[in-house]
Every structure is written in C-alpha cells, then in structure tokens.
C-alpha cells in the first residue's frame, strides 16, 4: 500500500467507489436505458474521478 494511503483513506475510497458506481448505473438507466451496464460503470468511474478532482482543486485553492 502506498505511503500516502492509510486504512481510513482506503475505506473512504472504497465507499466512494461503490456509491459512485451505483449512481453511475442508476443515472445511465434513467437517461439512457438502451445503453449497457458498461456505460454505467464508466459513468460511475467518471463521477468518482470528478469527486477526487474537485477535492484536489479545493485543497489547492486554500
């Protein structure tokens, strides 16, 4: 495990990943029901990446 990730941040990452994937699948099923599950997974991964990007940007501005 990398030195910058302790157990607490790993648990937060896993929770964000699970919630992001769930919301990505739900959003894809709501707005594009003809798309497959893979698009939902990609949407969820994009949501998680955006969450970490916004968090990094917020810390950068302080």
Which pLDDT score, from 0 to 100, does residue 45 have? Answer: 95
Grade residue 2 by pLDDT with cuts at 50, 70 and 90: low
Q: In the chain, what is the greatest distance between 2 CA atoms, to the nearest angstrom?
A: 43
User: Would you tell me the crossing angle of helices 7-31 and 37-61 to the nearest 10 degrees?
Assistant: 130
State pLDDT tens for residues 4-56. 666 788 888 899 999 999 999 999 999 999 999 999 999 999 999 999 999 88
Which pLDDT score, from 0 to 100, does residue 3 have? Answer: 59
């Amino acid at each position: 495990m990398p030195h910058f990730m302790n157990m607490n941040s790993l648990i937060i990452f896993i929770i964000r990943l699970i919630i992001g994937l769930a919301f990505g699948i739900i959003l894809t099923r709501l707005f594009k029901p003809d798309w497959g599950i893979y698009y939902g997974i990609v949407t969820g991964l994009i949501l998680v990446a955006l969450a970490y990007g916004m968090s990094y940007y917020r810390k950068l501005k302080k």
